[in-house]
Amino acid sequence: MKFFIDTANLDQIKEAQELGILDGVTTNPSLMAKEGIKGDEKVKQHYIEICNIVDGDVSAEVISTDFAGMIKEGEALAALHPQIVVKVPMIKEGVKAIRYFSDKGIRTNCTLIFSPGQALLAAKAGATYVSPFIGRLDDISTDGLNLIDEIRLIFDNYGYETQILAASVRHAMHIIDCAKLGADVMTGPLSAITALLNHPLTDIGLEKFLADHAKNS
């Protein structure tokens, strides 16, 4: 399973990269705004900085919602760095744009996926990744993990190569459950990733090993 971090915060990206487990980064306009990154040039520069930290795919989202605008923006984003994957929303114009990018060899991440039908359409259009937002489904009392399960079944039935990128991951159990269900990738906050480290028996065990070693030395 690939681990992506879902942030535009450079310190957090560096921390995950230094841990040696990072396969990529996802961003979105809200995450860029949270870091105070404003204006076309600053946004583009920020994507390049992220690409220079991480050795893997970096999703950069288009803002346009019309086909021509998405193509113009997506081509400019893809030209920034070979690691850029163009993030396109799951709307009719977005599906057309994914087909266009796919035919041109530009990789895409279809975002805002909330149903198996949306994932199927994106895969048929040639998306590299689909991003089902499991946390936001959980927020409205719907089973986000069930969506991962359904998409896995459909993609496996037909051998679609589109990767399932479980997004809107909120905590460590989301990561573990997505891994059990066969999601290809998960993207989540640093806190969810580092929470995987923790177990009280590890802490107790290590404390005892160190204490016993100190007694003998």
- Minimum Å distance from CB 44 to ligand E4P? 18
Q: What is the DSSP letter of 213?
A: H
Q: Which part of the chain contacts ligand E4P (CB under 6 A), choosing from 62-70, 113-121, 127-135, 195-203? A: 127-135
Q: Which is nearer to ligand E4P, 160 or 168 (CB)?
A: 168
Q: Which is nearer to ligand E4P, 57 or 150 (CB)?
A: 57
Check residue 131 for interaction with ligand E4P (CB under 6 A): yes
Short-list 38, 46, 42, CA closest to 25: 46
Give the CA count within 13 Å in the CB-facing half-sphere of 39: 3
Q: Rounded to an integer, what distance in angstroms lies between the CA atom of residue 115 and that of residue 118?
A: 5
87 carries an active-site annotation: yes
Check residue 25 for interaction with ligand E4P (CB under 6 A): no
Q: Which part of the chain contacts ligand E4P (CB under 6 A), choosing from 8-16, 99-107, 130-138, 174-182? A: 130-138
Check residue 108 for interaction with ligand E4P (CB under 6 A): no
Q: What's at 52, amino acid-wise?
A: N
Sign of CA pseudo-dihedral 171, 176, 181, 186? positive
Check residue 163 for interaction with ligand E4P (CB under 6 A): no
Alpha helices by DSSP H, 6-59: 10-19, 29-34, 40-53
Q: Which residues are catalytic?
A: 87
